[in-house]
Amino acid sequence: METNVNYTLAGTFVIALLTAIIFGIIWLSAGITGGVYTIYEVYMTESVSGLSIDGPVEFNGVNVGTVSAIKISHKNPKLVELFLKIKSETPVTVATRAKFAVRALTGVGYILLEDKGTDKRALIIQPNQEYPVIETVPSILVRLETLLTDLSDSFKSFSHSVQSLLDKENLDSIKQLLKATHATFHLLEERTIPLANQTISTLEGVSRDLSVITSEIKDNPAVLIRGKTPSQKLGPGEQ
């Protein structure tokens, strides 16, 4: 009788252990948790290569949920439709934005939620929506690609401008301009500069003569009336 009781206890224990193992497997595979989650929808206009189902969703660097589904939008094939399962206590507002990001070392993609706090109203379901839709912002990869594209376009435009400047017609014009400039300098060197030097010398002579005359007038004011040779008879006060 005691042996039968032991077998019964052992069988009950084995059945309970198998049940616990099966329940644990179901728990882990289905992601069953004790928390309450809210489903949000995101439409990406860029590639989400590296992002997978159950990929992490972070809010300002804090893990708040996972990606529950990824698919191409039936309304617009250019869009990637994501469904995010986020903890309900997460403060997702009208100003919250979703951005695709990639881990630097592993290359694993994840969704980063950011909120600038400009509008603190809670994000709710709008008409014709199944779930609340979080707006997106370009990832750093897209912004870098846009920057490189703009730089490439600017360089091409600059290259075309240089090529237009250096075409045969413009080069001939530049040559003619240089020749005209050279001729002008040559004319200045041969005629204008010597004439200017002569004029300066003449002005220096006139300046010296004026200085002598001024000195004579200062010493003998009668020179203005009688000239340089004074009369024999000098008036009062004359020298």
Confidence grade of residue 22 (pLDDT, cut at 50, 70, 90) = confident
Q: What is the pLDDT of residues 75-92, one digit of tens each?
A: 898 999 999 999 999 999
CA 62 to CA 115: how far, in whole Å?
A: 13
Distances (CA, A) of 234 to 45, 224, 231, 238, 239: 113, 14, 7, 6, 7
Annotated domain spans of the chain: 37-137
Question: What average pLDDT does the structure give for the chain?
Answer: 76
Q: 16-20, 63-67, 175-179: which has the highest mean pLDDT?
A: 63-67
What is the model's pLDDT at position 83? 96
Q: Using DSSP bridges, classify how beta strands 37-44 and 62-72 pair: parallel, antiparallel or unpaired.
A: unpaired
Whole-angstrom distance between the N-terminal and C-terminal Cα of the chain? 170
Cβ burial, residue 65 (10 Å; 0-12/13-18/19+): buried
Q: How many C-beta neighbours within 10 Å does residue 81 have? A: 17
- Give Rg (Cα) of the chain: 48
Confidence grade of residue 54 (pLDDT, cut at 50, 70, 90) = very high
CA 213 to CA 215: how far, in whole Å?
A: 5
CA 40 to CA 29: how far, in whole Å?
A: 21
The stretch 12-31 carries a mean pLDDT of 67
Q: What is the pLDDT of residues 122-165, one digit of tens each?
A: 898 999 889 999 999 887 665 565 555 666 666 667 666 666 66
Q: Is the pTM of this model over 0.75?
A: no
Q: 15-24, 26-35, 69-78, 195-204: which has the highest mean pLDDT?
A: 69-78
Token pair of 15 as six digits: 């059945």
